């Protein structure tokens, strides 16, 4: 039986825990005495507790994040109730800042703040080799104490053991494979925890690429880079792109987060060579409003950003996932709408509309009084209202974001969506009108079948926008059958015969690629 169980609750099964694999890889001589146990947040807490206790561990370490802290708290409380002597160690972004008053912090024996890759092993080694070591309050500084709150120093990345061998064949086949070539972020955006990770530190490139080669040799095809600024250091980013380009094979997919206003020619020439849909860039724009950008200490050159978007859309097959945030201090709906329209005109395949969250430790709290920022008290700590967006309007924007994801980001209705604002000045105003209309009609934002959305789009276009009914019906029918494997679309008012049905489904990026090629 293992002495140490490394556990976490993932948002979904498809998300393999990168953090657990780093901790496991760096346990050194304790690695043979440990195991990993991954769960998902919708599992019953008692089932999770039973699975953990079946290993009869002496120490359990939990990775705690904004998406799992409530469920993990319940699991930890049950473990301490059943086995009071079991040592619980927690770490992760959610418990690395503002630890006072957190229930899970009070329940745990030890909390490791910061990057725990090395420190977790040191704590476990001390606990297992010295069982008489007392637990002391953070304020007590005594040599014999192992503190309740333990601050981890930044590890030397070049000395960390690689976690990539801990991805199983099942992981490579069915789950998202996370990789990183660097940690930290050079920017100081006040809503983001990465702004606290200065300076940017890089893993040795040769060793990193050797790890990627081993994953490729094992059949990995999906690589999600978690680097906050993939294109910050040109020699590293070009080396990585060239590496994958030289080893290209059908089905390979790369996801990067990029700085939107930094795309020199060396990167452009490589990006052009990748096939359509093979590379996805997540581009954090957040706001187009200069005053709001200053409020959150965000720096970006909008002219260069727009030029880079045009390059990516006109000269490459890159899938662009662009981010905007609702509720930033000083920005109202009108300003957000102008930025949204500006982004729509740049043509990214997806626009992710996020509702501002107050992450623990971030300095955005300095705006609370001036801009009357009111956040939900429980995870994910989303903004409820601001000076510029009252609660009722914030709710409208939540619905807008949800419906946009279903209709636009999904790629199911890429062609039909453009009919909504073909004769309008503002895509934002038109889709907000659709969002209000749809909520009045359905009264919900979740558990909506795709054919219900299709029928609603047809009715809105025909009855509210004055779109020709045959045009709306034929566009919806074309969108519907662009994804293989669907049956006939039975719209009221659809007169065309349904098209033949294929037998294979397509991922979201492929649906957008079809639209771009149409």
With respect to residue 432, please indicate whether it lies within any of the assigned structural domains: yes
pLDDT at 129: 86
Q: For the ranges 52-66, 313-327, 472-486, which has the lowest average pLDDT?
A: 472-486
- Cα 196 to Cα 181: distance, rounded to the nearest angstrom: 18
pLDDT tens digits along 386-404: 999 999 999 999 999 999 9
- Cα 473 to Cα 461: distance, rounded to the nearest angstrom: 10
Reported as a pLDDT band with limits 50, 70 and 90, residue 470 is very high
Q: Does residue 136 share a domain with residue 8?
A: yes
With respect to residue 406, please indicate whether it lies within any of the assigned structural domains: no
Q: Report, as an integer, the average pLDDT of 302-328.
A: 96
With respect to residue 399, please indicate whether it lies within any of the assigned structural domains: no
Facing residues of 5 across strands? 35, 60
Q: Does residue 171 share a domain with residue 143?
A: no
Cis omega (within 30 of 0) on the bond before 199? yes
With respect to residue 365, please indicate whether it lies within any of the assigned structural domains: yes
Q: Does residue 415 share a domain with residue 370?
A: no
Q: Does residue 336 share a domain with residue 417?
A: no
With respect to residue 404, please indicate whether it lies within any of the assigned structural domains: no
Contact 166, 178 (CB under 8 A): no
Out of 135, 155, 175, a domain closes at 155
| 79: containing domain | 4-155
- Residue 78 pLDDT > 60: yes
Out of 155, 176, 193, a domain closes at 155
pLDDT at 136: 59
Q: Does residue 197 share a domain with residue 141?
A: no
Q: Does residue 209 share a domain with residue 100?
A: no
Tell me the C-alpha to C-alpha distance, in Å, between residue 407 and each of 411, 431, 516: 7, 10, 16
**Strand 177-179 to 182-183 pairing:** unpaired
C-beta contacts of 506-510 below 8 A and 24+ residues apart: 506/482, 508/350, 508/409, 508/410, 508/411, 509/253, 509/277, 509/280, 509/319, 509/349, 509/411, 510/277, 510/411
pLDDT at 507: 63
- Residue 262 pLDDT > 80: yes
Q: Does residue 146 share a domain with residue 39?
A: yes
pLDDT tens digits along 88-117: 999 999 999 999 999 999 999 999 999 999
Q: Does residue 194 share a domain with residue 59?
A: no
Contact 183, 157 (CB under 8 A): yes
Q: Does residue 240 share a domain with residue 144?
A: no
By CB neighbour count within 10 A (0-12 exposed, 13-18 middle, 19+ buried), where does 485 fall?
exposed
Tell me which residue of 182, 166, 159 sits closest to 239, measured CA to CA: 182
Out of 333, 355, 389, a domain closes at 389
At 98, which CATH number? Answer: 3.40.50.280
With respect to residue 400, please indicate whether it lies within any of the assigned structural domains: no
At 245, which CATH number? Answer: 3.80.30.20
With respect to residue 161, please indicate whether it lies within any of the assigned structural domains: no
Q: Does residue 206 share a domain with residue 354?
A: yes
Q: Does residue 277 share a domain with residue 303?
A: yes
- Average pLDDT of the chain, as a whole number: 92
Tell me which residue of 71, 70, 76 sits closest to 90, measured CA to CA: 76
Tell me which residue of 47, 16, 48, 20 sits closest to 35, measured CA to CA: 20
Q: Does residue 416 share a domain with residue 365?
A: no
pLDDT at 504: 42
Tally the domains of the chain. Answer: 3
Reported as a pLDDT band with limits 50, 70 and 90, residue 82 is very high
With respect to residue 204, please indicate whether it lies within any of the assigned structural domains: yes
pTM of the model: 0.90
- Cα 197 to Cα 229: distance, rounded to the nearest angstrom: 12
Q: Who wins on pLDDT, 185 or 49? A: 49
């Amino acid at each position: 039986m293992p002495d140490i169980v490394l556990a976490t609750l993932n948002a979904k099964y498809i998300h393999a825990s990168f953090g657990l694999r780093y901790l496991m890889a760096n346990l050194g001589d304790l690695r043979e005495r440990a195991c990993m146990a991954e769960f998902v947040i919708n599992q019953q807490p008692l089932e999770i507790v039973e699975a953990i206790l079946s290993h009869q561990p002496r120490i359990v370490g939990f990775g705690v994040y904004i998406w799992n802290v409530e469920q993990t708290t319940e699991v930890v409380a049950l473990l301490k109730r059943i086995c009071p002597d079991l040592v619980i160690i927690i770490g992760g972004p959610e418990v690395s800042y503002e630890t006072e008053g957190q229930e899970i912090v009070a329940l745990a024996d030890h909390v490791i703040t910061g990057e725990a890759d090395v420190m977790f092993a040191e704590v476990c080694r001390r606990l297992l080799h010295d069982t008489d070591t007392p637990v002391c309050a953070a304020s007590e500084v005594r040599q014999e104490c192992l503190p309740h709150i333990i601050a981890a120093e930044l590890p030397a990345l070049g000395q960390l053991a690689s976690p990539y061998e801990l991805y199983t064949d099942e992981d490579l086949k069915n789950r998202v494979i996370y990789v990183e070539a660097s940690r930290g972020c050079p920017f100081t955006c006040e809503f983001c925890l990465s702004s606290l990770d200065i300076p940017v530190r890089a893993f040795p490139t040769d060793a990193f690429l050797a790890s990627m080669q081993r994953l490729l040799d094992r059949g990995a095809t999906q690589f999600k880079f978690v680097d906050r600024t993939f294109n910050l250091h040109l020699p590293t980013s070009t080396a990585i792109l060239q590496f994958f380009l030289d080893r290209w094979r059908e089905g390979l997919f790369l996801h990067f987060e990029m700085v939107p206003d930094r795309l020199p020619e060396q990167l452009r020439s490589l990006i052009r060579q990748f096939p359509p849909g093979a590379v996805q860039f997540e581009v954090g724009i957040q706001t187009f409003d200069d005053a709001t950008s200053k409020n959150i200490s965000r720096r970006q050159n909008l002219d260069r950003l727009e030029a880079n978007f045009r390059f990516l859309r006109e000269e490459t097959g890159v899938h662009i996932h662009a981010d905007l945030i609702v509720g930033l201090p000083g920005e109202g709906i009108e300003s957000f709408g102008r930025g949204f329209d500006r982004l729509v005109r740049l043509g990214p395949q997806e626009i992710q509309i996020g509702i501002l969250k107050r992450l623990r430790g971030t300095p955005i709290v300095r705006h609370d009084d001036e801009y009357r920022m009111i956040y939900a008290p429980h995870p994910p700590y989303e903004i409820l209202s601001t000076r510029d967006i009252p609660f009722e309007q914030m709710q409208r924007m939540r619905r807008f974001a949800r419906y946009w994801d279903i209709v636009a980001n999904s790629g199911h209705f890429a062609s039909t969506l453009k009919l909504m604002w073909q004769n309008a000045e503002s895509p934002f105003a038109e889709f907000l009108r659709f969002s209000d209309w749809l909520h009045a009609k359905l009264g919900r934002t979740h558990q909506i079948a795709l054919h219900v959305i299709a029928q609603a789009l047809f009715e809105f276009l025909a009855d509210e926008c004055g779109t020709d009914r045959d045009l709306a019906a034929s566009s919806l029918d074309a969108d519907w059958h662009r994804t293989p494997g669907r049956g006939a679309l039975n719209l009221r008012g659809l007169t065309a015969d349904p098209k033949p049905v294929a037998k294979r489904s397509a991922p979201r990026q492929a649906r957008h690629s079809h639209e771009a090629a149409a």
